[in-house]
Structure 1
Amino acid sequence: MVVKFTKRVLTLPGRSLAGQFLLFQLVVVAVVLIAVAAVSVAQSTREFRDVRGQRMIAVAENVASTPIVRDRYADPFAARILAPEVDRAVALSGAGLAEILDPDGRVRVSTDPARVGTRMDLSASRADEGRAWFGDGDIDGVRNLIGQVPILAASGAVLAVVSVSERYPTVWELIGGAGERLLLYLSLGALLGLAASWLLSRRIKRHTRGLEVAEIAGLADHREALLHSIREGVVAVNPDGVVTVLNDSAQELLGLGAEAVGRRVDELGLERAVVDFLMSGEEGRDVVIATGKHVLALNRRAAHSQGRHIGTVTTMRDSTELAALQAQLSSHRSVTDTLRAQTHEFANQLHTISGLVQLGEFDAVHELVGTLTRRRAQINDAVTQRISDPAVAALLIAKTSLAAESGVILTLDPDSRLRALSPALATDVITLLGNLIDNAVDASVGTTRAEVNVTVCDADGLTLTVTDSGPGVPPHLRESLFARGVTSKPAGAGGLEKQRGIGLALVRLVTTQHGGHVEITDGPDGGASFVVRLAHA
């Protein structure tokens, strides 16, 4: 598997990650300060226009209401006669320019003698309509705030217009006009921003172990390549039960997609045993868990970073083929044990016959041979009359002899019926019956009745029932007995595969592959009853 990464990392050449972050933070601080200054300037400009605009109108009204202005505004020497009045208006208001205009905008009187005789554009003003007005306008190419008030005749006609204007302050004048407090706040904000940026850059450098952006990106690429190329499944879960890492093999084994990362384990629809195992935060030994499609060998380890618990990492391997091989080995060993038991039985019988011959009891020899032959025929007939599949029949006959050697009576229910099966299905049925019978015999050894009853029925699908006379299975273990690598028998009983619960896990796996299910109930006379139902026979 080849994993390719084409991500590009934006870096500034020649600068460390902490240095880049500090630079970016300084840029942010500068932008914030500029924005604050811009807002302050805009607010000051608005306040200047509102407050000073009304002031300009008030001064213009004061000039327009002066008797000498109303009497002499049209005098040929008005520029000289009314000059003191307009100068006083400027002095009182702090305005830059005060003028008296004709209704057509020609300047008759001005605090700037050079403007006498020039014209002012009154198109935006409403003073020529007989109303007071203030607004923006250009005077000699400079933006000014202008207030204008008409001088009205008794008839309401506009005789002249008094105009008072003031130049808009510059940006620096507006900022300075905001007072020392604004400058103090801006300076304090700049210092705090610089200090915070420097501290944050130091923290980032500490948490990234001094690694630069390219090195971090390289580590991330190698991590992704490693996780998604190994065959073992890897699942990381944080202390809150949320999946943080899920490689390709784990997705395949658990039947999940990449979207499972970031979700809680108990929300993914996994087997209950798998959920319990992944949610447990402590280290665990190798555990075998059977899901619907796989037999998984899992191992969990706690993960720590700088002395702090950050979750668990679980590795998993697909042991389905291994479990199948163990089942086959168990079947071969079962046949070997059966042959050994039969050899032991035949040896005892031959020794008896030899002794009777030496004693000359030929009639007794004849009777013993007849009895043994009839007993063997009864066992074979009891199975073959009900079980038409030769492989399954041979298994039941062999298991009968093997159980007898352990002191357990294995009987086939008279209502059992099974037609000949396909070779593949017959192999799976042998696996199911072999594991269930071995488990039942082990549980029945040493009990009072020491019996195992087997029922095989293919009337509706295929149903296999194995009932033992053992102590039974507690209800709280019935589900986990098939799912996890546990067993209801003492340690050491029944061989390695039974110690680790592989046999019953394999039973569940084979049953699920055939679209069936397996359950455990209480036997009619005590003990446990294992029932396997397959969808098709």
Structure 2
Amino acid sequence: MRAIKAWFGKMFPNRISLAAQYLVLQLLIIAVVLTGVVVVSTTQATNNFEQEEGRRSLAAAESLAANPLMRIMLPGAEPEMGSALPAMAESVRSTSGLQFVTVADPQGEVITSSFPDDVGTSILHPQSQVIEGRGWTGDIWRNGNHVLIAQVPVLDDEGIMVGIVSAGQKYPSTQAVIREIAPSALFTLLVSVLLGTVGSVLLSRRVKRQTRGMEPREISELFEHREALLHGVKEGIVSVSPDQRVMLANDIAIELLQLPNDCVGQTLEQLKVAPQVTRALTTKQNHPDRQFLVAEKVLVFNRMPVAVAGRDLGSVTTFRDRTELTLLEQELGDSKATSDMLRAQTHEFANQLHAISGLIQLGEYDEVVGFIDGVSFSRSKLFEDVAARINEPTIAALLIAKASVATERGIKLSVAENSHLGRNDEQLARDLTTVIGNLVDNAMDAVSAVTQPHIELRIEESETHVIVQVSDNGSGIDDAAINEIFTQGFSTKDTTVSGGRGFGLALTRLVCRRRAGDVQAINAGGAQFTATLRK
């Protein structure tokens, strides 16, 4: 195989055009075919010679053997005993156009022959059947010449063999046969070369139209560059045809979408990809950076339709993994919300301190005491609940901030009496911040239209797990959507904003499952979400 490749490399260097390569290949094929034709023609000519000349030689020998004068004279004939037998033999030879005619006695000794040197020699051959009284045709080598002969017995009136007649013709030489078939072979060669040249040019033009005028070397380089580009980028790339068949997928795409290695050529239905993946790869994208949750990863998709000369070729979709970035954005959002609430409380306490300072300066001491008691009573209950049950500073600060937001929106946020959470490692605290923040925000949105909105948070901790339960008195979750809210961004809000909407619950489940837990939702006088995280 390597030898063939090396031969092709020598025959067709990169500088030879495609048309020239086609022409050379076709000329080689024509040469091989023509050689085969010459061999077959030569063999056929030899076979025709044997058939025609064999019949003619046999007919001439039988004619001479049936001559009555030959049958009378042959029994007593001896070599060089007169001219009658040689005359009859020569007459038959010249009439038939054969090369030689030989007459021999019953033992095969030559009496007369067109070749005088044969007189006195034997014409019998091992394969000859003439000694058995039957005619025989075959080929022999005589003095270096290939000769076709026919031998028949000479029988008297009583059927006794009195002699043998042999006639034959020398085989034509190979050069003679080639000269005979040369005109037709030359005509065939010229026609084949002409058709091959025209066909090579037409085929080359057609191939070049289909390959945009590029030579094979350029196509090979383009393919190598494309492969290097596809497998060198860090983004997933998938090309899908109009009939939803995967035409191209790089390694990152196969890994992120969990596709088989032989996915190219199969349809999305055959590959059984997730519905959101099918939607991302096939539907029109009006806004950049569509986010979908795929196999517990947040992927950002960008789809671009492809059309050439008005013909729809499908689309090319690029995507990247933004799971960690999305989680960091969520945590940053929660931290920002917490800092904003703490800043607002700082301003609020500053105003209250200014009011107390003014009352003291006015000497309204009883009013000071009443004002302080009112402020203390309104906040002490929640602070006491959080301080008594939540020892993790990050979560405690988050709950106080969420309580302030809830109060501003007229929502009552309470912590269940049996709640408890001790100090934990930093990673678990961040994950709990994401889960609690998302569930509480989701609950506040759910009770926004309720007359007396109420949200209850319950946190339970064991040696191995932390369970977070958030209940509200809203309208609950639609039964048709209760199984979908965690699988993909589900929101009635504007989904065109930066980063998308409806990923809070999806991220909550992602965090829980990453910690070998899960999150579930039921309707119990409203929506109730229960999240479990392994410590």
TM-score above 0.5? yes
Answering whether residue 378 of structure 2 is matched by residue 375 of structure 1, we say: no
Match of 1:423 in 2: 426
Relative contact order, higher structure (CA 8 A, sep 6+): 1
Are 1:238 and 1:312, in contact at CA under 8 Å, matched by a contact in 2? yes
Cα deviation digits, residues 236-276 of structure 1 (max 9, x gap) = 33445444444454455445686555555555565442344
* Aligned-pair Cα RMSD in Å: 4.9
Are 2:495 and 2:501, in contact at CA under 8 Å, matched by a contact in 1? no
Match of 1:35 in 2: 36
Cα deviation digits, residues 441-470 of structure 1 (max 9, x gap) = 234322456454555556785555545535
Deviates more, 1:232-241 or 1:146-155: 146-155
2:200 to 176, 197, 203: 197
Q: Percent identity, please.
A: 35
Closer, same or farther in 2 for the Cα pair 1:169/1:522, shift >3 Å?
farther
Closer, same or farther in 2 for the Cα pair 1:366/1:425, shift >3 Å?
closer
Q: How does 1:450-465 map to 2 (within 5 A)?
A: 450-452=453-455, 454=457, 456=459, 464-465=468-469
Answering whether residue 326 of structure 2 is matched by residue 323 of structure 1, we say: yes
Cα deviation digits, residues 476-511 of structure 1 (max 9, x gap) = 79558644xx44132179x744x3445445334434
Equivalences, count = 519
Q: Could you tell me which amino acid in structure 1 is paired with residue 19 of structure 2? A: A
Match of 1:20 in 2: 21
Q: How does 1:310-349 map to 2 (within 5 A)?
A: 310-339=313-342, 342=345
TM-score (normalizing by structure 1): 0.74
How many angstroms apart in 2 are the aligned matches of 1:264 and 1:104?
A: 89
How many angstroms apart in 2 are the aligned matches of 1:150 and 1:462?
A: 120
Q: Could you tell me which amino acid in structure 2 is paired with residue 380 of structure 1? A: V
Kindly state the Cα deviation for residue 206 of structure 1 after the two structures are TM-superposed: 3.7
How many angstroms apart in 2 are the aligned matches of 1:97 and 1:248?
A: 84
Cα deviation digits, residues 337-381 of structure 1 (max 9, x gap) = 4335656876898899999x9695689658745743553256427
Kindly state the Cα deviation for residue 332 of structure 1 after the two structures are TM-superposed: 1.0
How many angstroms apart in 2 are the aligned matches of 1:108 and 1:476?
A: 119
Q: 3-state SS of the aligned residue for 2:238?
A: strand
Are 1:144 and 1:168, in contact at CA under 8 Å, matched by a contact in 2? no
2:409 to 383, 386, 406: 406
Are 1:518 and 1:531, in contact at CA under 8 Å, matched by a contact in 2? yes
Closer, same or farther in 2 for the Cα pair 1:212/1:449, shift >3 Å?
same
Closer, same or farther in 2 for the Cα pair 1:174/1:233, shift >3 Å?
same
Match of 1:3 in 2: none
Q: Could you tell me which amino acid in structure 1 is paired with residue 381 of structure 2? A: R
Match of 2:234 in 1: 231
Q: How does 1:288-327 map to 2 (within 5 A)?
A: 288-292=291-295, 294-327=297-330
How many angstroms apart in 2 are the aligned matches of 1:89 and 1:173?
A: 26
Kindly state the Cα deviation for residue 122 of structure 1 after the two structures are TM-superposed: 2.0
Q: 3-state SS of the aligned residue for 1:312?
A: strand
Q: How does 1:475-490 map to 2 (within 5 A)?
A: 475=480, 479=484, 482-483=487-488, 486-490=489-493
Cα deviation digits, residues 369-417 of structure 1 (max 9, x gap) = 5743553256427xx54x6655445534543442333334445566766
* Unmatched tracts of structure 2, length 5 or more: 1-7
Kindly state the Cα deviation for residue 299 of structure 1 after the two structures are TM-superposed: 1.4
Kindly state the Cα deviation for residue 200 of structure 1 after the two structures are TM-superposed: 0.8
Structure possessing the higher radius of gyration over alpha carbons: 2
Cα deviation digits, residues 178-216 of structure 1 (max 9, x gap) = 997x98777655543332122112223444444444444
How many angstroms apart in 1 are the aligned matches of 2:469 and 2:109?
A: 118
2:171 to 160, 164, 167: 167
* Unmatched tracts of structure 1, length 5 or more: 1-7
Closer, same or farther in 2 for the Cα pair 1:480/1:281, shift >3 Å?
farther
Match of 1:523 in 2: 523
How many angstroms apart in 1 are the aligned matches of 2:401 and 2:110?
A: 130
Match of 2:514 in 1: 513
Are 1:289 and 1:505, in contact at CA under 8 Å, matched by a contact in 2? no
How many angstroms apart in 2 are the aligned matches of 1:434 and 1:156?
A: 129
Closer, same or farther in 2 for the Cα pair 1:428/1:121, shift >3 Å?
farther
Match of 1:5 in 2: none
